[in-house]
Structure 1
C-alpha cells in the first residue's frame, strides 16, 4: 500500500450481541485492497431498524453473526485505492456499496445472503473499508454523502417493492405504513410514477410532513384504529394496488384487508409489537393476494433506481431527520430506537 494511504481506521464493533449499548470503538490496521477490490473512505452511514434488531440479538433465519460484528449496512464514500484487475472504477469516484455485497443481479440465494453487511458479514461503521468492485454503485452527483448513504437499504427496498413482478404505474393506489425510511422513499418513488399515496402514522406532525412531501391521503391510526376500513373508503371499496408492509404480524391482517383482489402486499419488516390470531391464509386465498417478501435488492436494481432518481431529482431527494457525528454513534442508535424520526438517521463518519 502506498505511504500516502491511511494505515489506521477507527471502527465500531459490538463487544457482544444483546444491545447497541455494547458498541465499542477501536483502531485497526487498514486492509489493502485485494485483486478486484477497492479501498473506500467512508464519509457517511445511515441506520436501519435492522441494525437495532441485529444488535439486540433478534436477527432471524439462519443468520450467523460474526464475533465483534462491525454494524451497519448502508454507506457512501470515496474510492481511494484500487486492487489489481479493477477496470470500471477510478480513484475519486463517489460510491455506495450494495447492502448484500454479492447480490449483483437476479434472485438471491443462501450463499449470497452471507455477504449481507451488518448482519451475516461485517458492516461499514468504520472510516475505511475494502469492498468487492462488483458491489459498488455510483450515486447522483447532486447528492451529498449523507444523502447517498440512505440509498442501499431503505431506498432500494422501496424501489424493489414497487418495481418487482408488477411495476407500479400511474393511477395506482399505494399504501405506506409509517414514516420511516422505506415508507418515505416509497412515497417519493410512487409519486414519481404518478401513483396515489395513502400513508399511516400515529403522529399528526409526521403525517403533516408526509402531506408536504406529496401524500394525497393520510391516516392517524391512533384516531382510526380500523385504518384498513379508512383505506377502503378512500379507494371506493376496491383496495390499494400495493402495500409496503413494515409492521409484520401485527399489521398484516389489516394490510390484506386494505389491498385489492390480486394486489401486492410487500412484506418488508416487523416493527409492530402486536400479535394476532387471524387466519391470514384464508384471506390471502380468497382475495388472490400476492404476499411478496422483500430482501433489499441487487446491484442491477440499484443502478436502475439511480436512473429514476436522476430523472426525478426534486421528488426523490432523501428526507434526513438528523445527522450524528461519528463519535456519537451510540446516540444515533438510541435516537433511532425512539422511532420519533421521519425519514433517515445518518452518522457522518468523516
Structure 2
C-alpha cells in the first residue's frame, strides 16, 4: 500500500518559558528515515502535562517534542523493518526500548515525549520495536489513549503475577482521569468490586455508570480511607490505584488490606504533602509498588484483551477533542480537572 511521504512536519516543542508558554508550534523538514524505523502519520494523541509544566521528575531532552501517547498509520518503513508494512495502524509504546520483563533504569532513556521526541507532530519516525498494532475494533482516537494510561492501569491490576485482580477482589480508584477510568473498567471486566473517589458530586453518576460499586466524595469525607475500609467489611481493598501522591497516600494506607497492594501511579496532587512515615507503612503491612507505565508486551496483552472484550474495555474519551494547533487550550482544560476520561488531540 503506497502512501505519500511528506517533506514537512508540523510539531510542538518544549522551549524556554514557564508553564504552557514553553510550548512552541512550528513547521520543520522531515528527517531522513532510519533503516529500523517506521514513519507514522500521527492521527490522534494525548498529551503529557507534567513535561509541559516542567514538573517531570525524569530527564527531559532539550527542545523536546512532547507527547507520550499516539496512534496513526504507517507511511513508510526502513529497509530492516520486518514487523510492519505501509498502511498498518499502530499505537506507540511509551518506553521505546522496554520490550518486556522487569523494568530496567536504562528504559527511562527511551520514554517518548521526554528523553525522546514524542508524538505532538503530524509525522514521526519510531523504531519498529516501539510500536504495536491497534486493536481492530478501536478507532485511532480510542487507541491513542492506550500508550500511557491504559498500560499503566493494566500494569497496576495485572502486572504482578501473584496479585492479579480477579472476581470478588476490591479495587480503589481515584478520580476520573485516564488511568483511574481504565482501572475501573478493567477491574469490573473481571468481576472485581470497585470503590471510586472523586472531588466533584457532579461526577458520581459518571463513575457509577462505568460500574463503580461505591463512590466517595473525598472533599466531603476527609477520612475517606476509613470509609473505604468500612465498605469492605473492615478488611480493606486488595488494590489501590494511587494517582494523587503524597496528599492522599495516608488515606490509601488506611484503605488497603494487610498484604494488599498500593500501586503508585503518579502525583497529580503534587510531589509534596503529608508524607506517611516508615512506621505507617510497617503498621499497614502492604506492598507499595511504584508503576513505570509498562512494557510493550503489556501493551500487546492489553490490546488483545480489548479486541476480545470491545464493549467492556472500550476507552472512555472526554467529549472535548482538540486539534493539534489547540494544544495549549487542551492542556489548560486537562489542568482544570473538568475532564472525564481521556482528553485527546486530533492531529490529522
By the TM > 0.5 criterion, same fold?
yes
**Residue 129 (1) aligns with residue 120 (2):** no
For 1:199, the equivalent position in structure 2 comes to: 196
Name the CA shift for 1:311/1:5 in 2 (closer, same or farther; >3 Å): same
**Residue 248 (1) aligns with residue 251 (2):** no
**Residue 141 (1) aligns with residue 136 (2):** yes
- Is 2:7–2:29's contact at 8 Å kept on the other side of the alignment? yes
For 2:309, the equivalent position in structure 1 comes to: 312
- Is 1:17–1:55's contact at 8 Å kept on the other side of the alignment? no
For 1:328, the equivalent position in structure 2 comes to: 326
- Which stretches in structure 1 are left out of the alignment for 5+ residues? none
- Is 1:17–1:56's contact at 8 Å kept on the other side of the alignment? no
Deviates more, 1:286-295 or 1:266-275: 266-275
Structure 1 distance, partners of 2:275, 2:86, is: 55
Q: Secondary structure at the match of 1:306?
A: helix
- Is 2:3–2:86's contact at 8 Å kept on the other side of the alignment? no
For 2:102, the equivalent position in structure 1 comes to: 107
- Is 2:71–2:92's contact at 8 Å kept on the other side of the alignment? yes
Runs of 4+ in 1 over 4 A off after TM superposition: none
For 1:82, the equivalent position in structure 2 comes to: 77
Structure 1 distance, partners of 2:297, 2:3, is: 35
Structure 2 distance, partners of 1:160, 1:17, is: 34
For 1:20, the equivalent position in structure 2 comes to: 20
State the Cα distance separating 1:232 from its structure 2 match. 1.2
Question: In angstroms, what is the RMSD of aligned CA positions?
Answer: 1.4
Structure 2 distance, partners of 1:292, 1:17, is: 34
Note the 1:209-228 alignment, pairs <5 A. 209-228=206-225
- Is 2:37–2:125's contact at 8 Å kept on the other side of the alignment? yes
Q: Secondary structure at the match of 1:251?
A: helix
For 2:184, the equivalent position in structure 1 comes to: 187
For 1:289, the equivalent position in structure 2 comes to: 286
- Find the partner of 2:168 among 135, 160, 171: 171
TM-score by length of 2: 0.95
Q: How many residues align?
A: 343
Deviations 1:278-300 (A, max 9, x none): 42x21222332000000000000
**Residue 117 (1) aligns with residue 112 (2):** yes
For 1:342, the equivalent position in structure 2 comes to: 340
- Is 1:17–1:57's contact at 8 Å kept on the other side of the alignment? no
Structure 1 distance, partners of 2:287, 2:340, is: 28
- Which stretches in structure 2 are left out of the alignment for 5+ residues? none
State the Cα distance separating 1:24 from its structure 2 match. 1.3
State the Cα distance separating 1:108 from its structure 2 match. 2.3
State the Cα distance separating 1:22 from its structure 2 match. 2.1
- Find the partner of 1:52 among 49, 53, 57: 49
Q: Secondary structure at the match of 2:247?
A: coil
Structure 1 distance, partners of 2:5, 2:179, is: 36
State the Cα distance separating 1:15 from its structure 2 match. 2.0
**Residue 266 (1) aligns with residue 293 (2):** no
Q: Secondary structure at the match of 2:71?
A: strand
TM-score by length of 1: 0.95
- Is 2:236–2:257's contact at 8 Å kept on the other side of the alignment? yes
State the Cα distance separating 1:27 from its structure 2 match. 1.0
Structure 1 distance, partners of 2:29, 2:105, is: 30
- Find the partner of 1:237 among 229, 234, 238: 234
